[in-house]
Chains A and B, each alone.
Chain A
């Protein structure tokens, strides 16, 4: 039985492969960008509030900082307690044109020893976890030039 690919959170990203992009919203009045998307009202207190339009965020950015998770995070993070814990890296990435920092997991196999602050990374589709019916998809950050 094949699993359905379903975003772990709806409306935050779209596309596959090279066309994968994070989705935010942008205020038509002041041009502030929001991620996660803000669909209610512009949160810039200097702005009277314009329409919030969906925009794809830049694919590439530079590492603001990074760390990892050497211990199994508690729920609602999903992991198989039967399997030994495999640490993953977390990367906070600064997107130049949006002037925003977005946190995400690194692609599997990339560890903190592969990273430095200021390094260029790109957003790629990833898998958060799987159950019997569903593959829950997410975004990952990957150093540019790494193809693994």
Chain B
């Protein structure tokens, strides 16, 4: 087992379409996390920003942008870009600094002001960029890939659009209880079925929206936490940031084709499954030890896929686990108690951090109406573009 770091503070800016700059959301989240930790910004030895990037050039560089907004105080700084895994890689960077003794207290911040509609590459001809190519040649948006996965599940496992809708119903009911969520209304299966098809078989309410939002964490060494009076802090026990293994045979964002398995047999597990397995190995626990999970429900169907990749059930049994209520509050392993991306929408660099905020509040028994009684161990999982994925295990 590796050494642990403590989560001393967690904070968010409410998600939505607020029409302001990302620095404002991130700074608000950072101040909330510092207040939650009972620390002053001047106590922070290092700040790590999760970057937002449009078209390969970030404009603002997140770490320094937040540090300036909070007031230059000489802290060590780093910025991380890894698409949807940016937040988790920012956490990984902070953890490494703490474990290496480079800093006692690290502030991790991610925030975004997302454009309306589909994510897209910036302008200009960039035919060496696979993300640009998939739009130029195929018009293949992110929901198109989610549609491919959903249809594949229907063909392989017999999932139905009604199963997918139940994921939205579950997550919307939880989001209705979360003051930080963008959507705070319960949704019925009929409403999902009545929404427009975006990428067959997925409908508008099967797919997460783009949003503004921010999330932040104050991480520190266990020694510092003890000196600060936190005898039993929530702790991060594992951060997995693995890449796929060749040949990666599941078509993934933003690729036009998979690797070929002509020369080498594919690994026994998919990339998504390897992300979770690595986290379990690092934490020295297994899926049977989990109290809850926060997974990337970019689409309803993708949440079912994560159940299997996290080992919550066998292959092809995701929809069954859902139908039996096991992933809802009161079930064996509640998933997306925050309301998930279904209720938050995507604010790319913030969302992997927001997942850890939710686990922190749940493990502190401070999640209000959506509290899972006796929550002790939680996992997050996400996946971004270009072979980025990550998973964080948090324990109490």
Contact = CB atoms under 8 A, between A and B. Distances in A.
B155 A44 contact: no
Contact of A68 (B120, B156, B196, B200): B200
Interface string B100-122: 00000000000000000110110
Interface residues of A, number: 48
Contacts of A118: 155
Contacts of B73: none
Nearest to B126: A76
Given A65-B152, A70-B200, A74-B117, A99 B260 contact: yes
Interface in B243-261: 246-247, 249, 251, 255-261
A66 B151 contact: yes
B117 A65 contact: no
B323 interface: no
Interface string A86-120: 00101010000111111111000000100011100
A36 interface: yes
A100 B135 contact: no
A30 B144 contact: no
A9 to B, nearest CB: 6
B25 interface: no
Given A65-B151, A92-B251, A77 B262 contact: no
A100 B140 contact: no
B250 to A, nearest CB: 8
A4 interface: no
Given A9-B127, A92-B251, A138-B137, A67 B144 contact: yes
Given A64-B251, A68-B200, A69-B141, A46 B256 contact: no
**Could you tell me the dominant secondary structure of chain A's interface residues?**
loop
The residue in A35, A67, A77 that gathers the most chain B C-beta atoms within 10 A of its C-beta is: A67
Nearest to A118: B155
A5 interface: no
B118 to A, nearest CB: 5
A76 B258 CA distance: 22
A81 interface: no
A32 to B, nearest CB: 4
B197 A70 contact: yes
A66 B117 CA distance: 22
Given A90-B140, A101-B249, A70 B135 contact: no
B264 A30 contact: yes
Contact of B196 (A33, A44, A67, A70): A70
B144 A9 contact: no
Given A44-B263, A101-B249, A73 B135 contact: yes
A31 interface: yes
A101 B252 CA distance: 10
Nearest to A79: B139
Nearest to B245: A45
Contacts of B141: 69, 71, 73-74
Nearest to A34: B260
B133 A9 contact: yes
A69 B132 CA distance: 17
B288 to A, nearest CB: 32
B139 A64 contact: no
Contacts of B136: 8-9, 76-78
B148 interface: yes
B231 interface: no
Contacts of B259: 32, 43, 100
B140 A73 contact: yes
Contact of A100 (B121, B125, B262): B262
A112 B199 CA distance: 10
Contact of B118 (A9, A30, A65, A74): A74
B96 interface: no
B147 interface: yes
B148 A90 contact: yes
B1 interface: no
A76 B152 contact: no
B155 A27 contact: no
Contacts of A99: 247, 249, 260-262
Nearest to B134: A103
A77 B117 CA distance: 15
Nearest to B130: A36
A128 interface: yes
14 contacts: A32-B259, A44-B246, A45-B246, A64-B148, A64-B251, A65-B251, A66-B148, A66-B200, A67-B144, A76-B135, A77-B139, A88-B139, A92-B148, A103-B255
Interface of A: 8-9, 27, 30-36, 43-47, 64-71, 73-79, 88, 90, 92, 97-105, 112, 116-118, 128, 138
Interface of B: 117-118, 120-121, 123, 125, 127, 132-141, 144, 147-152, 155-156, 196-202, 246-247, 249, 251, 255-264
